[in-house]
């Protein structure tokens, strides 16, 4: 990966909650900024975040199941999100390995209290079968979905979630993508982000912040 400035790193990490990432996100190609950010309506803050950041696009997981991004994956859930592609020779394998450690620390909470999602940056290449093979190769456990779909839908999702580079040339180069992860509690509107290679225990502790009362319990019962 090429060296980038501290300013670029901060923009790409999205250290602010998703709701505050609007200013750091580039406009969708072919649309104006006004189109990207329609006038505020008389709606709740949760609904406004949904409108701006959570397009309800149809995706397919590694088992071939069709799901809707908001209705099926995000709504009313605590989630951990990253972007990757199955034939990546850069940071993807290392981040996936690190997130497997996170999954083991979370134990049986994954798929019950916390849901993990990896979205394809190369959906034309990433079939459900190739995503399943990638998950199997990395010994991914239950409760973690690898998702692909229509390229336009994945590109929209990438931009709406703030996974963009302020440099258009680097943004267009998938091999230069930054391996940050987002985590959030959708109903409580709590969102944060950190590097995908951060210490697994730190990531688990950060996810614990999403729990209003039981966060200190996250991480018990590590799977071997």
pLDDT tens, residue by residue, 23-47? 333 333 344 344 455 555 688 999 9
Identify which has the larger pLDDT, 218 or 178: 178
Taking only the tens place, the pLDDT of each residue in 124-176 is: 999 999 999 999 999 999 999 999 999 999 999 999 999 988 888 888 888 77
Predicted local confidence at residue 173, as pLDDT: 81
pLDDT in tens, 67-97: 999 999 999 999 999 999 999 888 999 999 9
What is the residue-wise DSSP string for the chain? -----HHHHHHHHT-S-GGG-GGGSPPPTTS-HHHHSPPPPS--HHHHHHHHH----EEEETTS-EEEIIIIIITT-EEEEEEE-TT--SSHHHHHHHHHHHHHHHGGGBTTTEEEEEEES-TTT--HHHHHHHHHHTT--TTEEEEEE-HHHHHHHHHHTT---SSHHHHT-GGG---EEEEEETTTTEEEEEETTS-HHHHHHHHHTT-TTTGGGTT-S---
pLDDT at site 90: 83
Return the pLDDT at 36: 53
The better pLDDT of the pair 158, 1 is held by 158
> What is the pLDDT at residue 89?
81
* pLDDT at 2 exceeding the cut of 60: no
pLDDT of amino acid 121:
94
Whole-number pLDDT of residue 5? 37
Domains plus CATH for the chain?
A: 6-25+45-217 (3.40.30.10)
pLDDT digits (tens, 9 = 90+) for 102-114: 999 999 999 999 9
The token pair at 47 is 């609904």
């Amino acid at each position: 990966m090429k060296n980038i400035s501290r300013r670029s790193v901060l923009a790409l990490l999205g250290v602010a909650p998703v709701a505050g990432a609007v200013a750091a996100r580039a406009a969708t190609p072919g649309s104006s900024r006004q189109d990207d950010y329609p006038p505020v309506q008389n709606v709740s803050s949760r609904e406004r975040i949904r409108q701006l950041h959570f397009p309800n696009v149809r995706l397919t997981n590694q088992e071939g199941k069709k799901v809707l991004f908001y209705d099926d994956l995000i709504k009313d859930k605590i989630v951990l999100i990253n972007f990757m592609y199955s034939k990546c020779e850069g940071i993807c394998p290392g981040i996936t390995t690190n997130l497997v450690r996170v999954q083991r620390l979370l134990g049986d909470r994954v798929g019950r209290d916390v849901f993990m999602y990896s979205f394809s940056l190369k959906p034309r290449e990433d079939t459900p079968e190739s995503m399943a093979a990638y998950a199997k190769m990395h010994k991914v456990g239950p409760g973690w979905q690898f998702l692909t779909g229509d390229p336009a839908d994945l590109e929209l999702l990438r931009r709406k979630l703030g996974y963009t580079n302020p440099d258009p040339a680097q943004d267009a180069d998938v091999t230069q993508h930054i391996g940050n992860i987002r985590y959030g509690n959708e109903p409580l509107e709590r969102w944060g982000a950190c590097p995908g290679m951060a210490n697994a225990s730190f990531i688990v502790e950060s996810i614990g912040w999403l729990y209003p009362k039981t966060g200190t319990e996250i991480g018990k019962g590590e799977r071997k």
